[in-house]
A and B are shown apart, each in its own frame.
Chain A
Amino acid sequence: MAVGPVAKPGKTKFKSAGAARSPLLGIAMFSPAVLYIVLLIGLPFLLAIFYAFSDARIGTEMDLAHFWRHLVGLDNFRSILQSPSFRAALKNSIIFTVAAQVIVMVCANILSIALEKPFRGRGLVRFLILLPWVAPVSLGTIGWKWILDSIYSVITWALVTLGFVNKYSPPMWLGQEGLAITSVILVHCWRLIPFSTVILLAGRSAIPKEIPEAASIDGAGFWRTLFQINLPIMTPILGVAILFGTIFTFTDLAVVNLLTNGGPYDSTQTLPNLAFNQGIQGSDLAAGAAISVFLVPVLVVIAYFMLRVANRAEVV
C-alpha cells in the first residue's frame, strides 16, 4: 500500500484548527496549569506524606540529602491513633460532615423548589442566599463568633427579651458541649446551603417541565413527584452536591478553629484543626502531617462512590 502521512481522525480535527499546528504552542498553553498543580498541590502533598512517616519537627534541621535517616515508619500513625484527641476529632469530623450534609440537602431542596418558579424579587432573594458562599469563610465565622458570644450574643438577648431564657444563666453557645457541637454544625450549614441550593436549582431546571407535569396528570402528588420522579432524576447532580459538601466540611479548618478551636475539651475537635494545632502550633510537623494524610484515603473512598453515582446519569 502506498501510505502517505496518515493522520488519525482526532488529529485532523486539530489540524483544521490551524493554530494548534505547533506542538510547542500546546505545551506553552497548558504548562501553567501543570506547573500550578505540581508546585502548589503535588509537592506539598508529597512532602506531607514524607513528613507523616518522618520525625520532622519545626525548629529541628532536616538533612534532606539523607532523608531516609528521618524515616520512622508507622510510628506517627501509631501514636495519633492512641491519642484521645485524635479519636474525638475523627468522630466529630464524621458527625459534623454527615449532620451538616443532611441538613444542607433538606434545606437546599426546599430552597431550590421555592426559588424555581418566578416571583417578584426572586433575583434579590437568590442574591441574598448566595451571599454566605461569596463571603470569606473566616469573616463569616467571625460574624458568627459574635452572634454566639457568651456575653454579647444577639440570640441570647433575643431569647431573654422573649422570656425563654434566664438572664443570669444564659446558654453558652460555644462553651457547652452539646450547644458547641450544634453551633458548629449550623455554621457549616449556613455556609454550604447556598452552594448546594445553586447546584440543585441547576439540576431542577434541567428536568424538562413536561416530566413533573406528566407525573401530576398520572396522579402523583407533591411528595411522590419529589421522591419518585424529581430526586431520582437529579441523583447525579445530588451526588456532586453531596461530594463537594462533604469534602468542604470534612477538610474545613476555619469554622472550628475560629469558633471553638476544638473546645470545650475536644468536644468540637476536628481532624484539620487537630492537625493544625499539633503540626503547626505544637511544632510536631510529623504528627500534623500524619493526621492530614489520614484524611486522604477516607476522602478518596467518598469521592469514588460519589463519582460513580454521578456517572450513572440518565439521559432523557
Chain B
Amino acid sequence: MAVVETRKLTKVFKQGELGAVNEVDLETREGEFLVFLGPSGSGKTTLLRMIAGLESPTAGEILIGGKVVNDLTPRERRIAMVFQSYALYPHLTVYNNIVFPLKAQKVPKNLHKEKVEWASSLLGIGALLQRKPRELSGGERQRVALARAIVREPSVFLLDEPLSNLDAKLRLSAREELERFHRRVGTTTIYVTHDQVEAMAMGNRIMVLNKGVVRQLGTPKEVYDDPADTFVATFLGSPPMNLMEMDGMIVGFRPEHFRVSEDVKESAKVTFKFRVENVEYLGAEFILAGFLQGGKTDGKKVIARLLLGHSFEIGTTYDFAVAERHLKFFDRTTEKRITPRNFAWQ
C-alpha cells in the first residue's frame, strides 16, 4: 500500500490554452478512499490518468510511495485502474482477462490459478470464468474489471467512473459492494465521479475540482457543511444551495435549512416571506420553488426542501426562516467563503 502525492501537477493540452489540470497539490492517506468530484471537463479524469501514467504531465511531480514516478511507465507504477468502459479484453475469457496482469508481470505460473480464484471469489464471479465479456451483464463486467485490477495486489487503486455505465438500481448495489470491497482490501483508492451522491456516500475524503483547479479537499461533511466557495456550495447538494447577492457579498443557505418559521427552534434566525410558485411531491419530502417577498431580498428565487407534515398551496405566501448558524457568506468577487458577519436583512 502506498500514498499518492502530486506537487503542482499541471497538464496543458494545447499551448496557450487554459490547463486541463492546474497546479494540483494532493496527498492521499494510507488506505483511504479519496474521491475526485467535479463536472465534466473539470480535469478529474486527466488528473487520474496522469497518476496512472497514461498521460504525461506538463509540469509538476507525481509521487507514489514517496518516489517520483513521472518517468515511469504505467506498469512500473504498480497501480491498478478500472476504466469507465471496463476495457475488458473482448477476445479473452473472464479467466484469461483476470490472469493477464499476472502473466504480464511475470508472476510465477503455479500461482496464477490460486490468485485468479481468490480474486474471482472475492467478487463472486467464480462461475463466470469461462465466459467471454460479451456474454456478461454490465454488473458482471464491472466485477470482472475489479477482479482484474485486484488480482495483482496493487499498491493503489484508480477507478474512473466505474458505476456510470450501470442502470440506477444496479448502481446502488454496486456502490455498496465497492464500499465493502474497499473495507476488505484496504488499498488506497482514488475514485473519479461526477455524481455527488456517490462521492458523499463512498469517500473518506472528497476533492472537488472545477476547471482543473482544486476547489476544496475535505471529508464529505466538511465539503457539504463548510463549502470553501460558491462552486462547491452549489455543486454539492440537490437541490443546490440558495445563493443571493446582497450588500457586496453573497449569502447562502441550503434548501433543507429553509423551513417553516415555527419549526426553526433557534432564537437567532432570519425570517422571510416565501411565496410558493411550484410544489414537487417526492414521497418523503417536498421541493418548493418560489421567491422571497419584501425587504432587501424581495423577488429572490429560493428553493426549499421540507419533510412532509405541512401542506402548501401554489401562489400562497408563508412564513419561513433560516437559523443564523446555517447562513454561509461568500466574497462577491472571489466567491470564496468569508467569516459570518452581522447583516441588516430588512
- Chain A: residues with CB nearer than 8 A to chain B? 208, 210-211, 213-221, 224, 228-229, 232-233, 235, 314-316
Contact = CB atoms under 8 A, between A and B. Distances in A.
Given A215-B100, A216-B54, A217-B54, A315 B90 contact: yes
B90 A217 contact: no
B83 to A, nearest CB: 5
Interface in B79-132: 79-81, 83-85, 87, 89-91, 100-101, 104-105, 132
B91 A232 contact: yes
Given A217-B74, A218-B75, A219-B101, A210 B90 contact: no
Contacts of A228: 100
Contacts of A216: 53-54, 73-75
B148 interface: yes
A233 B91 contact: yes
B134 A217 contact: no
Contacts of A214: 81, 83, 87, 89
Interface string B51-89: 011100000000000000000011100011101110101
B152 interface: yes
B85 A210 contact: yes
A217 B52 contact: yes
B81 A211 contact: no
A230 B111 CA distance: 26
A218 B100 contact: yes
B133 interface: yes
B133 A219 contact: no
Secondary structure type dominating chain A contacts: helix
Contact of A314 (B53, B91, B104): B91
Interface in B135-165: 148, 152
A233 B83 CA distance: 18
B83 A221 contact: no
B50 to A, nearest CB: 13
Which among A208, A210, A219, A224 has the highest number of chain B CB atoms within 10 Å? A219
How extensive is the interface on chain B, given as a class? 20 to 34
Contact of A221 (B75, B84, B89): B75
Contact of B87 (A211, A219, A220, A315): A211
Contacts of B148: 218
Interface of B: 52-54, 73-75, 79-81, 83-85, 87, 89-91, 100-101, 104-105, 132-134, 148, 152
Contact of B75 (A211, A217, A232, A316): A217
18 contacts: A211-B90, A213-B87, A214-B81, A215-B100, A216-B54, A217-B74, A217-B80, A218-B75, A218-B100, A219-B101, A219-B105, A219-B152, A220-B75, A221-B75, A228-B100, A229-B89, A233-B90, A314-B132
B90 A220 contact: no
Nearest to A216: B74
Nearest to A211: B87
A210 B91 contact: no
Given A218-B75, A218-B100, A219-B152, A210 B87 contact: yes
A224 B132 CA distance: 20
Contact of B104 (A220, A235, A316): A220
Contacts of A210: 83-85, 87
Contacts of A208: 85, 87
B90 A314 contact: yes
A232 B132 CA distance: 14
Given A213-B87, A214-B83, A315-B90, A219 B75 contact: yes
B83 A213 contact: yes
Q: Which 6 A-B residue pairings sit nearest by Cβ, starting from the closest? A: A219-B104, A210-B87, A218-B101, A214-B87, A219-B75, A219-B105
Contacts of B105: 218-219
B82 to A, nearest CB: 9
Nearest to B55: A213
Contacts of A211: 87, 89-90
